[in-house]
Chain A
């Protein structure tokens, strides 16, 4: 998959930083921050899926929210088709919301419990004036059908759907505005394994149909391996390694990637693979270490790692890593 000719990106993120104040007061600037995202760059291309992997708290969801405009970056750019998103007028922002959508992890809290499915989808058509009012009903049915829900579900409240159906409804919501890119923030983590496969198949099918670009945020590496074309490994707000999915999974370069991959269960007790058990503490995101973020837990750390941030090195075709080992 790595050999696909890369089409030009529709969404480009570069040098994204975001910190959240811990001691927000009415008067005076806050002194303590959580540094959630510290220089993330990525590109989304039509019809391609980019995986964003990392443990909880590493800032991967914040990246998704920044891209969807739910948070504003402190530093860095988000460019959509070459245009800087932060400079958009309010009408252009509205249009951007039609181009870039998001699907959340928890299908139980991501639907308004007091809104019937049909009304929820109809509202989108009305707010964005996507079609004539008389057409809305038919369009809602079309969308429901596209995600595999019967047209009768328009009459139902979220409570009457199963977890998988709810996630289909969330996908329908994101799809209604006919976006070009969708941020999938752990879209299947809250679902049963059997349902996960259905939802992933649906996402694949929709991607093919509408040539969608996905940012697939997940901590589940086996899912990422199956759905992504490209993977970014994130640690403490930074990308430590990225590359085509096959390369990353076959030849991980960064010690953190290696440790992560060794934790993926393989259904073969004789595989003889050794698990890398990480020791040491994750640094607090309120105080980012000056050198390599992974220093405190790395099994191959060197003196240089503690105080100097590792440079980015190409270690294979399209594969780059931030590690002093490859200097």
Chain B
């Protein structure tokens, strides 16, 4: 099977077994284990926040405001006396939801735009790609801030802003992949069978661009989480009192010298989760690298 090494990974024995192989490779990489563990823990924390959180994240105890970490409140309390650990656990929900939803939407949108541009070429390609170039020229977070300034700050609008900023990279990536794939004979054969363009793009071209998109998406979640935290920090994102890491960080800046724990813990949470996704993405990229023959391993 060495005739076509580039498609070695794209040709699974079965869907289940390729993911088992990829997972096995990720787990052979120490950073991969680390990343996967963090992401898994974060997902568990988000799902079971109400069960795990020691306190109600909204419950204010003004008498205990700005108290540092103690056995009762492991991460201390904020300026309204709320338990920071509980708020951080609930904040995981916002971060993960934003990360997953925006990446899913922007990856899908980008894939569609990229596939159309790559498959049709000519004018369509020119227009779509100049549009993505324009978006690529803006610093993403700046554009997101501008969009949020136009829309009103809310969770849904954060999603919209981040998706508008997020799809362009996928469009570029998928366009390149489609340009490469569409010359292959299986696409010609599909055309010779009279298949519609929609069918060829959706069922034949797009599935064959999934691997790089998957890696880019895993790495991209980290970026989306940072962007959401940034927007919330600026007061443009998730609105109080909903606990979000960016918002908590923002609250903490007013009391940085008196209560550094208000800033440190949400900051750590962001850092660790982002690291987790980055490590997982790196490990996935290595695991999906077509130049490493996956079938030669057990």
Question: Is B189 in contact with A102, judged by CB distance below 8 angstroms?
Answer: yes
Count of residues in B whose CB is under 8 Å from the partner chain? 29
Question: Is B195 in contact with A157, judged by CB distance below 8 angstroms?
Answer: no
Residue-wise interface mask of A (152-165) relative to B, using a CB-CB cutoff of 8 A (1 in contact, 0 not): 00000111100100
B63 CB within 8 Å of chain A: no
Question: Is A127 in contact with B189, judged by CB distance below 8 angstroms?
Answer: no
The minimal Cβ–Cβ distance linking A121 to chain B, given in whole angstroms, is 11
Q: Could you say which residues of chain A place their CB within 8 Å of the CB of B191?
A: 69-70
Question: Is A104 in contact with B1, judged by CB distance below 8 angstroms?
Answer: no
Question: Is B199 in contact with A104, judged by CB distance below 8 angstroms?
Answer: no
Question: Is B193 in contact with A114, judged by CB distance below 8 angstroms?
Answer: no
A14 CB within 8 Å of chain B: no
B3 CB within 8 Å of chain A: yes
B10 CB within 8 Å of chain A: yes
8 Å CB contact of B7 from A96, A101, A113, A124: A113
Question: Which residues in chain B, 182-197, are within 8 Å of chain A measured between CB atoms?
Answer: 184-186, 188-195
Q: When chains A and B are docked, how far (Å) is the Cα of A170 from the Cα of B207?
A: 20
Known: A102-B189, A102-B192. A114 touches B10 (CB 8 A): yes
Q: Could you say which residues of chain A place their CB within 8 Å of the CB of B10?
A: 113-114
Residue-wise interface mask of A (87-122) relative to B, using a CB-CB cutoff of 8 A (1 in contact, 0 not): 000000110111001101110111111110000000
The number of A-B residue pairs with CB atoms under 8 Å apart is: 82
Q: How large is the interface on A (under 10, 10 to 19, 20 to 34, 35 or more residues)?
A: 35 or more
Q: When chains A and B are docked, how far (Å) is the Cα of A324 from the Cα of B126?
A: 49
Q: Could you say which residues of chain B place their CB within 8 Å of the CB of A109?
A: 4, 184-186
Question: Is B185 in contact with A106, judged by CB distance below 8 angstroms?
Answer: yes
The minimal Cβ–Cβ distance linking A192 to chain B, given in whole angstroms, is 12
Question: Is B189 in contact with A173, judged by CB distance below 8 angstroms?
Answer: yes
Q: When chains A and B are docked, how far (Å) is the Cα of A325 from the Cα of B191?
A: 43
Known: A157-B11, A157-B13. A110 touches B192 (CB 8 A): no
A26 CB within 8 Å of chain B: yes
Question: Which residues in chain A, 115-154, are within 8 Å of chain B measured between CB atoms?
Answer: 115, 123-124, 127-128
Question: Which residues in chain B, 1-16, are within 8 Å of chain A measured between CB atoms?
Answer: 1, 3-4, 7-8, 10-14
Q: Could you say which residues of chain A place their CB within 8 Å of the CB of B188?
A: 65, 70, 102, 104, 110
B208 CB within 8 Å of chain A: yes
Q: Could you say which residues of chain B place their CB within 8 Å of the CB of A98?
A: 194
Question: Which residues in chain A, 40-89, are within 8 Å of chain B measured between CB atoms?
Answer: 65, 68-70
A245 CB within 8 Å of chain B: no
Question: Is A101 in contact with B11, judged by CB distance below 8 angstroms?
Answer: no
A234 CB within 8 Å of chain B: no
A177 CB within 8 Å of chain B: yes
Known: A102-B192, A106-B185, A114-B10. A163 touches B126 (CB 8 A): no
Considering the complex, give the chain B residue whose CB is closest to the CB of A158.
Answer: B11
8 Å CB contact of A110 from B122, B185, B207: B185
**Residues on A close to B: CB < 8 A?**
26, 65, 68-70, 93-94, 96-98, 101-102, 104-106, 108-115, 123-124, 127-128, 157-160, 163, 170, 173, 177
Q: List 25 A-B contacts (CB under 8 A).
A: A69-B191, A70-B188, A70-B191, A93-B194, A94-B194, A97-B192, A101-B192, A102-B192, A105-B185, A108-B7, A109-B4, A109-B184, A110-B189, A111-B186, A114-B11, A114-B208, A127-B194, A127-B195, A127-B199, A128-B194, A157-B11, A157-B12, A158-B11, A159-B1, A173-B193
**Residues on B close to A: CB < 8 A?**
1, 3-4, 7-8, 10-14, 122-123, 126, 184-186, 188-195, 199, 203-204, 207-208
Q: Which 6 A-B pairs have the closest CB atoms?
A: A159-B11, A97-B194, A110-B185, A104-B185, A114-B207, A113-B11
